[in-house]
Amino acid sequence: MKISIRDVGNAKVVEVEGDVDLGTSPVFRRTLFEALPRAAKVALNLAAIRYIDSSGIATLIEVLKDSQRLNKEFVLFGLSPAVEEVFRLTHVIRIFQVFQTEQEALGTA
């Protein structure tokens, strides 16, 4: 798994590539929790994720809850088929703000 962060205005865009599973989700989790307090909004690009398991989805739920506690925004965009499948199976998609593109996610479209 590769993960990187870039600043776009007052937001941070987190890019993830590869597999998020039991082995890689601790880094995924740590990166998101470190980014959250440092920006008004964190937008997570899921387009290049080949695989995500329940530990990855659990991390997304935890980050969303923490964003609400900190009065920040945490949004998702670019869902790959692999991610859509897991969201479908876990029925958690409704709790997230999901956008097609980065521009839509950042409100600059």
Partner 1 sequence: MFNNQPENQADNPADNPGKAIGDARRCLRMKFAMPSDPRYLPVVRGAIGPLAAAIGWDDSECRAITLALDEALANVIRHAYHNCADGMIELECRESADGLEITLLDKGDAPDRSKICAREIGCDQPGGLGTHIIKNVMDTVSYEESPEGNRFVARKLLRKTT
Q: Residue numbers of the site for partner 1 (CB under 8 A)?
A: 19, 21-24, 51, 53-55, 57-59, 61-62, 81-82, 85-86, 89-92, 95
How far apart are the C-alpha atoms of 54 and 73, rounded to whole Å?
Answer: 22
> Whose Cβ is closer to partner 1: residue 55's or residue 104's?
55
Shortest separation between residue 9's beta carbon and partner 1, angstroms: 29
Shortest separation between residue 89's beta carbon and partner 1, angstroms: 5
Shortest separation between residue 103's beta carbon and partner 1, angstroms: 28
Q: What type of residue sits at position 91?
A: H
> Whose Cβ is closer to partner 1: residue 13's or residue 16's?
16
Q: If we measure between CA atoms, which residue out of 24, 26, 32 comes closest to residue 4?
A: 32
Place of tokens 């937008």: 43
How far apart are the C-alpha atoms of 106 and 30, rounded to whole Å?
Answer: 22
